[in-house]
Amino acid sequence: MALRILCFELNKDLCILLLSSLVCMGNFHRSIWHGTFELLVVLKSDSCSAHLIDGDGTFNDTGLEQLIKEVKLGECGLSYAIVSIMGPQSSEQYDQSCKDGKRRSQTTKGIWMARCAGIEPCTLVMDLEGTDGRERGEDDTAFEKQSALFALAVSDIVLINMWCHDIGREQAANKPLLKTVFQVMMRLFSPRKTTLMFVIRDKTRTPLENLEPVLREDIQKIWDSVPKPEAHKETPLSDFFNVEVVALSSYEEKEEQFKDQVASLRQRFFHSITPGGLAGDRRGVVPASGFSFSAQEIWKVIKENKDLDLPAHKVMVATVRCEEIANEKYGSFVANEKWCQIEEAAESGPVSGFGKKLSAILNISLSEYDAEAIYFDEGVRSAKRQQFEEKLLQLVQPAHQSMLSHIRSGTLEKFKEAFDKALNAGDGFSLAAQTCTQSYMAQFDEWHADAVIEQANWDTSKARDKLRRDIDAHIASVHAAKLSELTSSFEAKLSEALSGPVEALLDGANSGTWAAIKKLLRHETALAVAGFSNAISGFDMDGQSKDKLIASLENYARGVVEAKAREESGRVLIRMKDRFSMLFSHDSDSMPRIWTGKEDIRAITKTARSASLKLLSVMVAIRLDDDVDNIETTLSSALMDTKNNAAVKDRSIITFDPLASSSWEKIPSSRTLITPVQCKSLWRQFRTETEYTVTQAISAQEAHKRNNNWLPPPWAIVALVVLGFNEFMTLLRNPLYLGVIFVGFLLIKALWVQLDISGEFRNGALPGLLSLSSKFLPTIMNLLKRLAEEGQKPATADSQRNATKSFQNGSSPLSDSSSSPSSSSASSGVISPENGTEYSNTLKDD
């Protein structure tokens, strides 16, 4: 393995042992003795190294990752340096496997990497394969160019070993190496400035001051001879490289001086990345955590023989690494226990301190990202940080939305409770709505501020607007409900205050009915409007809305009256018959009439019908306005005028019927309750159904007259006196006949009382005879039975005296029997539907 002065600390005892071994081995090349770093240091057993790229060009990514972990390169950020060593074969390598030491051979295969022990900051050294080895042949320069390009792309310092005797020589061994370095530099787009340190080996007595100008002249000639793109035709070498020249004496001839020079050179690598240090331009350096990925990608591009765009490569490495860091931190955030607790709690209800807690967790994740990605390209780092932050915010946004939803719904519920409480306490509606709205919107703002996430710039005004709309909607619904409740309450009061009185007024309809109804309507409406206006004064309504509600209430009151009038108009026939019956069957003192024969039934009938017609005229139309109509006159002339009726019966006379129409003059259809045609039909039905009552009254009157007239006609009385004179004289001559006649009188009187003959004949002769024929025999049997019972009783003086006294008073003992409870409704003169009377629909004239 190659031995490096920059990689390993000096181990004096081990060096002496190695040198002694080499001397004992015999012949070995003098150049190794005099010029290499490797003879001065030995690889420590605990040093870290890796075969980065083998001889076939295979990149050892596993070995590099292991090396980076061992040296903890990922923690260094930008505080690290990469040094590459290249040069002719055996200028810096020594193959320990060549035990005989008889020939020069290639000691490094591919590229090795190791850490320089004891040098700060962390410095990694890459040892490149020799450039003039015969193992690959003269034509196989592909790997040489690839490794040189790789070294320039990743290194801060490139050490080039040169033999002192090659300076100034046209065929020097280092000339192909320099050409290779300059040629591959052209394949780097915008390369960063690299330090080229030429180490002159086995320096002769020629002073360095004389050697350095010659070396720089040779370097410039090589630079000028290398083909360049048009953009760099005139670009000087100093724009690409910082050229440093150092010289080392021959170890064989000047050992102590060689050691001092080596020690001095080693010191230059301490703090090489500080301003003014050995390292060149550090602007394009890749952060240590991305070095492994960067090196792999660079070697991949080089192997594909593509031009290497270092700025683009830097961006690519930064993109990949920043994404990896962001994904790692995102996973850590998702698994964060505190976040999981907050997310779970936010689903079920509001979380106290939600914004501060979540902002703190987000800050930790973002800070960790910043700490790891700080050394990557600023544009990429910022863009990926923004994406990472947006990704985190997208993750927490549902929880934040849940919080806002809980806050909004909770605020709305509390507002509803407070608003209802204020209204129940008697506060004005508008004042309560304004106070509660301001209070709970401020409460929402306070709770919302507690839920705000510092990193988020979300527009949460929608949640606030939604709450305000919900509050306004609730206020509007309560407003409508309260107004509806108030309106319904006053409408119910109006309905109660108007329905009963209007019904009573229409029941007793007369000329002043509608005037009384209008007065009642105005009075009750005025009271209701005053109370309603006072009740809605706290609603802070505009005048137009208030007037609209009051007008609606007034219209409702009028509608109640009209509805009640329409309802009563449907029962007008019943009302007319009731009024007719009341006036016809009762006298002026409201006492039932007894048809004695003295009453003028025709006049009473006309009066009752006129009153019924008056009721009909009142019910035909709604008269709540001040309009004047002639409906009553029209009805009276058409229905009650006897002359008009006679003309109608006389078909030879052509007359106009004022009721042959479907509307009233000056009365709109909206106010019409009963049309003229309907009035005519109702009147016809009314007369038909009341005709029987009149007929019954006339019959009762005639029956009463018959019952109260028992004397025969005068001519019959004269005939009895003339023809019965002889019989009367016979009775006077023989008193015994008087006794028989008296006994017969008593028997007849008893039968008269028992059979109630006068009562039976009140309903007519035929019904009376039929009734008497069925009762006569039972009555005779009853009388005989009672006489037999009286005869079996012991005769006493008291009973004889009572019997004598009874005979003297012209009565019979048999008259104690109860009379039959037979009655007739005709005697009272009142005919009602309970008498079984059926109403007829046939039109009859008076």
Angle, alpha carbons 439-445-446 (nearest 5°): 90
Is the pLDDT confidence value at 647 over 60? no
Which residues are CB-contacts of 211 (< 8 A; sequence separation ≥ 6)?
Answer: 164, 167, 200, 203, 245, 247
Give residue-wise pLDDT tens across range 344-358.
998 888 888 888 999
Residue whose structure tokens are 């007894």: 594
166-170, 348-352, 621-625: which range is least confident on average?
166-170
pLDDT score, position 333:
92
Helix (H) or strand (E) holding 475: helix 461-507
pLDDT of 791 reads 72
Q: If we measure between CA atoms, which residue out of 438, 549, 414, 442 comes closest to residue 491?
A: 549
Residue 81's φ and ψ, nearest 5 degrees, are -140, 150
Q: How far apart are CA 635 and CA 640, in angstroms?
A: 8
pLDDT in tens, 518-576: 999 999 999 999 988 888 887 777 888 888 888 998 999 989 998 998 898 888 899 88
Give me the pLDDT at residue 637, please.
Answer: 84
Report the percent of the chain where pLDDT is more than 90. Answer: 10
- 706: which 2 tokens? 């018959």
- By mean pLDDT, which of 290-304, 498-512, 799-813 is the weakest? 799-813
pLDDT of 327 over the 90 cut:
yes
Q: In terms of Cα–Cα distance, which of 194, 238, 251 is closest to 15?
A: 251
Cα dist from 255 to 35, 39, 236, 260, 437, whole Å: 11, 11, 39, 9, 95
- Using only C-alpha atoms, the chain has a radius of gyration, in whole angstroms, of 70
Does the pLDDT value for residue 663 go beyond 60? yes
Categorize the per-residue pLDDT at 824 as very low, low, confident or very high, splitting at 50, 70 and 90. Answer: very low
Residues pairing with 598 in the sheet: none
Q: Measured between alpha carbons, how far is 661 from 638 in angstroms, rounded to an integer?
A: 13
Confidence class of residue 643 from pLDDT cuts 50, 70 and 90? Answer: low
**pLDDT tens-place string over residues 711-732:** 667 787 788 788 877 877 777 7
* DSSP tag of 192: P
Predicted confidence at residue 775, as pLDDT, reads 81
- Sequential DSSP letters for 94-146: --TT-TT--S------SEEEEE-TT-SSEEEEEEEPPSS-TTT-SS--HHHHH
Maximal CA-CA distance, the chain: 221
Average pLDDT over residues 132-159: 73
pLDDT of residue 709: 64
Pairing of strands 122-128, 111-115: antiparallel
Q: How far apart are CA 216 and CA 244, in angstroms?
A: 10
% of the chain exceeding 70 in pLDDT: 78
3-class SS of residue 830:
coil
Long-range contacts of 581-586 (CB under 8 A, 24+ apart): 581/608, 581/690, 581/693, 581/832, 583/607, 583/608, 583/611, 584/608, 584/690, 584/693, 584/694, 584/697, 585/693, 585/829, 585/830, 585/831, 585/832
Q: Residue 748 has what pLDDT?
A: 83
Q: Pick the residue with more confidence: 579 or 765?
A: 579
pLDDT band at 831 (very low <50, low <70, confident <90, very high): very low
> Please, what's the b/e burial string for 301-327 (b: 16 or more CB within 10 A of its CB; e: otherwise)?
bbbeeeebbbeebbebbbbbbbebbbe
Mean pLDDT of the chain: 77
Is-above-0.85 flag for pTM? Answer: no
Strand-strand pairing, 49-53 and 157-163: unpaired
Separation of alpha carbons 158 and 242, rounded Å: 10
Question: Per-residue pLDDT averaged across 197-210, rounded?
Answer: 84
**Cα end-to-end span (Å), the chain:** 152
Strand pairing category for 241-249 and 157-163 = unpaired
Give the Cα separation of 491 and 550 in Å (integer): 11
Cα–Cα distances in angstroms (integers) from residue 371 to residues 71, 76, 313, in the given order: 19, 11, 22
Q: How does pLDDT run across 101-112, given as a tens digit for each residue?
A: 333 344 567 899
Length of the chain: 846
Range 112-118 average pLDDT: 88
The answer for residues whose C-beta is within 8 angstroms of residue 452's C-beta and 6 or more apart is 355, 460
Whether the pLDDT of residue 329 is over 50: the answer is yes
Structural tokens at position 817:
């029997």
- Only one residue has tokens 């035909």, namely 620
In the sheet with 194-203, reading across from the earlier edge strand, the strands are: 49-53, 111-115, 122-128, 80-86, 157-163, 194-203, 241-249
Determine the pLDDT at residue 194. Answer: 84
pLDDT of residue 331: 92
- Determine the pLDDT at residue 25: 33
Angle value at C-alpha 739, between 735 and 743, nearest 5 degrees = 165
